[in-house]
Structure 1
Amino acid sequence: MNKKRIVIGITGASGAPYGLCLLEECLRQGHEVHLLVSEAGWRVLKEEQGWEVQKREQLFYNRYKHLEGTLLFHPLKDIGASIASGSFQCDGMVIIPCSMGTMARIAQGISGNLMERTADVMLKEKKPLVIVPRETPLSAIHLENMLKLAQYGASIVPAMPAFYHQPQTIEDMVRFVAGKVLDQLHIDHQLYRRWST
């Protein structure tokens, strides 16, 4: 299997399980993952996963150290990190879940932190940028920002589970969305049963 280098960002939108599922699958397959978590993202991890987030990155290392891949954590303020440069070789970036605020700033070309800067690099270098928005209902502003990012080359993969594969658990629904993201990155997986007739 061809090992890839992927950046994963987790923001403050509801839907932390989507990001964690994607992270776990990438590491399980042996890929190199560069992880970013926004301040609001840490709050969502606490509320949705029950994580005590004082130790922050150590939580991720402890949770995923048994997996084959390489996990590298970057603080949001580290604007000089490797992933902030267009010369850094990377196979793509996913922001999952992506808050409407983060999406708006990326759509406007604002690079106020490392997550936004890295997304900007993906766009300018024409590398895969996958945005997984998690909001409902969507305002015209949200839709406009999604359209703008799609026109700039980003893939918009809303957190919309399907039911044709007959999910039995919440995990099945989460795995479907993570699988659709991996499809955008051309990474093989077995996270859900594909449609066949």
Structure 2
Amino acid sequence: MRIIVGITGASGSLYGYTLIRALHQLGIETHVVATETGVKVLQFECGIKMEDLKEYAVVHHNQNLFASIASGSFKTDGMVIVPCSMNSLGAIANGVGDTLLTRAASVVMKERRNLVIVPREAPFHVIHLRNMTTLAEAGVSILPASPGFYHRPTEIWELVNFIVARILDELDIEHELMERWGEKNESP
């Protein structure tokens, strides 16, 4: 299995970093690309540099449109953009492929592979919502970074794992990041 992970400049890069590590632990080949601001936010929020991700994934530069993930002949099982800024979401929704991240997303869509977009910004205005609708109508999964609380989290990592688990579910990847509803006790 081969997954692409995109990281943009929205807050919430911990979700992307946690997903990359989870994919690595599951033995899944992972390719990573980040926007310029995504690189900065990852460093600011997590203290992680792109070079640090090379331990877990193949790291691509966002301006390298000759990278493998820019081509449909490079078979992948899908792509996740987490977190996804409204700027990147808007570019993808409108067919702009001028960076590796947006080009890879376009390729995943045209090849009818799974694309999961995890918007982190809030609130949304009508243009954000229209862009999300455009993508949803094209078959893209829109998975807002809105963790649930029915598993009674007490630590931040439990909230992060909740979203990462949902992302893995969207990609049909088995995991044990969290207990599923109904597996133990359904009573509140």
TM-score bracket, normalised by the shorter chain, equals: over 0.9
Deviation readout 1:120-164 (Å, 9 max, x if unpaired): 011111100000000111111111111100000100000000000
Deviation readout 1:32-54 (Å, 9 max, x if unpaired): 00000111011111221134x4x
AA at the equivalent of 1:102: S
- 1:155 alignment partner in structure 2: 141
TM-score (norm 2): 0.94
How many angstroms does 1:168 deviate by?
1.1
Percent identity over paired residues: 46
Separation in 2 of the partners of 1:12 and 1:80? Answer: 23
Classify the secondary structure of the residue corresponding to 2:152.
coil
Deviates more, 1:184-193 or 1:101-110: 184-193
- Once the two structures are superposed, the pairs formed by residues 1-197 of structure 1 within 5 Å of their partners are 4-51=1-48, 53=49, 56=50, 58-62=51-55, 64=56, 71-196=57-182, 197=186
How many angstroms does 1:59 deviate by?
1.8
Unaligned 5+ runs, structure 2:
none
Separation in 2 of the partners of 1:144 and 1:193? Answer: 34
AA at the equivalent of 2:47: G
How many angstroms does 1:192 deviate by?
1.3
Unaligned 5+ runs, structure 1:
65-70
Deviation readout 1:90-139 (Å, 9 max, x if unpaired): 00000000000000000000001010001001111110000000011111
Aligned length: 183
Q: After TM superposition, which residue ranges in structure 1, 4 or more long, deviate above 2 angstroms? A: none
TM-score (norm 1): 0.90
